[in-house]
Structure 1
Amino acid sequence: MKLVKCISIISVLSILLISCGGEVLPKPKAFLSLEYPEANYAKVQSDCPYTFEKNQIATIIPKKNCWIDVDYPALNATLHLSYIAIDGNLNKLLEDVQKLTYEHAVKADAIEPTVYENAKQNVYGMVYEVEGNVASQAQFYVTDSTKHFLTGSLYFNTKPNYDSIYPAVVYIKKDIRTLIESLEWEE
Structure 2
Amino acid sequence: MRKILYSLFSIIFTLLVISCDDAVLPKPKAYLSLEYPDKEYKKLEVSRPYSFDVLESTKIIDETNNWLKITYPNLKASIDITYRPVENNLKELLTEAEKLVFKHAVKAEQIVPKDFVNPNKRVFGSLYEITGNAASHLQFHATDSTTHFIKGSLYFYAKPNYDSILPAVDYIKKDVLKLVETLDWKPL
1:185 alignment partner AA: W
What is the rounded CA distance, in whole Å, between the counterparts of 1:109 and 1:47 in structure 2? Answer: 38
What is the rounded CA distance, in whole Å, between the counterparts of 1:69 and 1:99 in structure 2? Answer: 21
Cα shift at 1:32: 1.6
Structure 2 residue ranges without an equivalent (≥5)? 1-9
1:148 alignment partner AA: H
What is the rounded CA distance, in whole Å, between the counterparts of 1:159 and 1:180 in structure 2? Answer: 27
1:174 alignment partner AA: K
Cα shift at 1:25: 7.3
Partner of 1:141: 141
Structure-2 change in CA distance of 1:27 and 1:38 (3 Å): same
Structure-2 change in CA distance of 1:184 and 1:31 (3 Å): same
Partners of 2:46 and 2:62 within 8 A in 1: no
What is the rounded CA distance, in whole Å, between the counterparts of 2:76 and 2:46 in structure 1? Answer: 24
Cα shift at 1:109: 1.3
Question: TM-score by structure 1 length?
Answer: 0.86
Partner of 1:97: 97
Partner of 2:171: 171
Structure 1 residue ranges without an equivalent (≥5)? 1-5
- Per-residue CA deviations over 1:54-82 (Å, capped at 9, x if unaligned) read 00111110100100000100110010000
RMSD (Å), alpha carbons: 2.6
Does 2:80 align with 1:114?
A: no
Partner of 2:153: 153
What is the rounded CA distance, in whole Å, between the counterparts of 1:80 and 1:62 in structure 2? Answer: 11
Partner of 1:77: 77
What is the rounded CA distance, in whole Å, between the counterparts of 2:110 and 2:27 in structure 1? Answer: 30
Off by >2 Å, runs of 4+ in structure 1: 24-29
Partner of 2:60: 60
Partner of 1:132: 132
What is the rounded CA distance, in whole Å, between the counterparts of 2:156 and 2:115 in structure 1? Answer: 24
Cα shift at 1:26: 4.0
Partner of 2:7: none
Matched residue count: 180
